[in-house]
Amino acid sequence: MPERSRADLLLELADDELVIGWRNSEWTGIAPFLEEDVAFSSIAQNEIGHARALYELAAEELGSTADELAFDRSPGDYRCAPLVELRRLEWAWTVARHWLYELADELRLERLKASGDPAVAGLAAKMDREETYHRLHADMWVTRLLSVREGRLRLDEALDGLWPFALGVLDEELRPELRRRAEARLGRELPDVDPVARGDHVGELAELWEEMTSVRRSAPAGAQW
Amino acid sequence: MSENATDTVFEVFRQERKGQPFQHAGSVLAPDLRFAEIYAREQYGRRQESSALWLVRRDAIDELSDFPDEFDLKYRRVDGYSIKARLKEARERAGTQPS
């Protein structure tokens, strides 16, 4: 694992969860059908809940607050992976991203649950209990799309398109295992490509940041709900 | 809502606390039981409002809805007796008035 501080590692995770939660919530009200709308929105809310817990842990160390970390940094300071930054994708691509992200997140959480840092290991275990249902949800969609020809074509195209981004969620040492698990589940090979790694941002992050931080910037002392 | 030919309606029954009866909460439309479980969990469980859910395929439910009463046996019905007058009488005997 590349050398980085505990706080940096927590911020990577927190930013991933915040931004994927934000992006997935872009389906609220317009998901393919009502049940999915409720379920996918609820999953998005869970991810944002995970982000808050991670920011709180980082904030203790940095002498900051979760809100400051989530909303007061400039877009360039976010550490999220480009996979989660992409603006709302077509449904098959959304399912592909959701599934790839959960698969990568599972690997990452397995590592963190075994961490010698009890606060990190404990939080990872708590998150993982909710992520279990996210993975179930993503995997059911993969099964469903693969079961018909049109679904398979669309999902395969999306998975191939997003694969370099998925690799970029994880550190180099975990990427071969991500590939192994993904290929075993899909029963086919994924493209041999360079990862779109963490560190660079896609242009769509700045636009998301504008929206995500607008309330905070309009009421810096804290909005009352 | 897009309804696929393969979608099934599952009726959802919710138990608020352990030991209490399950009551009908609503329904979810889903392609199979696994999707239905996810949807029911998110719709009827995410606020910690349920201690358990039952999912039943709607087509597995046997409905009865015909209860003939051709001879007006109103003494078998709860509205068959007027107790108003008798209640008034009893109150007068006891010397209490309705508040």
Interface test with B, best of A35, A139, A145, A146 (most B CBs within 10 A): A35
| Of residues A84, A189, A99, A106, the one with CA closest to residue A145 | A99
Chain A residue numbers touching B35 (CB-CB < 8 A) = 35, 140, 144
CATH number at residue B26: 3.10.20.520
Per-residue pLDDT tens over the stretch A126-173: 999 999 999 999 999 999 999 999 999 999 999 999 999 999 999 999
Per-residue pLDDT tens over the stretch B56-66: 999 999 999 99
Domain annotation covers residue B34: yes
Domain annotation covers residue B82: no
% of chain A residues with pLDDT over 70: 99
Chain B residue whose CA is closest to A136: B38
Average pLDDT for chain A:
94
Instruction: Taking residues A59-80, report their average pLDDT.
Output: 95
Give the amino acid at A59.
A
Give yes or no for residue A221 having a pLDDT over 90: no
Task: Please tell me the total count of domains within chain B.
Answer: 1
All domains in chain A, ordered by first residue: 6-185+203-218 (1.20.1260.10)
Q: Give the confidence band of B12 by pLDDT, cuts at 50, 70, 90.
A: very high
Chain A residue whose CA is closest to B47: A42
Residue contact A133–B41, C-beta within 8 A: yes
Q: Who has greater pLDDT, A159 or B5? A: A159
Q: Give the confidence band of A106 by pLDDT, cuts at 50, 70, 90.
A: very high
Confidence (pTM): 0.86
Give yes or no for residue B5 having a pLDDT over 70: no
Domain annotation covers residue B20: yes
For chain A, the residue count is: 225
Domain annotation covers residue B79: no
Domain annotation covers residue B3: no
Lowest mean pLDDT among A146-155, A205-214, B72-81: B72-81
ipTM value, please give it. Answer: 0.76
Instruction: Taking residues A5-24, report their average pLDDT.
Output: 96
| Of residues B49, B18, B42, B17, the one with CA closest to residue B28 | B42
Which domain covers residue B18, as residue numbers? 8-60
Lowest mean pLDDT among A58-62, A170-174, B75-79: B75-79
Domain annotation covers residue B56: yes
State how far the Cα of A21 lies from the Cα of A19, in Å rounded to an integer: 5
Position B73 scores a pLDDT of: 80
Position B93 scores a pLDDT of: 92
Position A223 scores a pLDDT of: 72
Domain annotation covers residue B43: yes
Alpha-carbon distance values, A68 to A12, A60, A78 (Å): 15, 12, 12
